[in-house]
Amino acid sequence: MAFDEELAARVRAAVGERADFTERRMFGGLAIMVHTHMAVGVTRDELMVHVGTDGHEAALAAGAHELRMGDRVMRGTVGVAASATADEETLRAWVDRGVDLALATPPKPARR
């Protein structure tokens, strides 16, 4: 499944201003990894943001929607529609949520 390359470029730029990152292909899209954790991603034409279980309800109240994998809700990760990320300020606010959480979480140990 393809993802919006223009949105991905905007997300890369926003994350790059805050932290070093790597990219992984996940969920049929692109995941941006910060401090060994997925911070944000792009699936199809929308933003995916890891907000943590504690931030899930607040993110929904701010306009995000639940993400599902089959019948299961991906609690702690939300989707943000393309229309809600059209302006840079709003996109950066959502990206900041994911980056802040990733930076506040201890890195995962290296796999052997």
> Tokens 């994998």 appear where?
69
* Residue 45 confidence (pLDDT) above 70: yes
Cα atoms in the 13 Å half-sphere on the side-chain side of 96 = 6
pTM, two decimal places: 0.92
- Predicted pLDDT of residue 11: 97
Tell which residue, 83, 63, 89, 67, has the closest CA to residue 4.
Answer: 83
Confidence band for 32, pLDDT divided at 50, 70 and 90? very high
Query: What residue spans define the domains of the chain?
Result: 5-104
% residues pLDDT > 70 (the chain): 99
Q: Per-residue pLDDT averaged across 1-29, rounded?
A: 92
CATH of domain 5-104: 3.90.1150.20
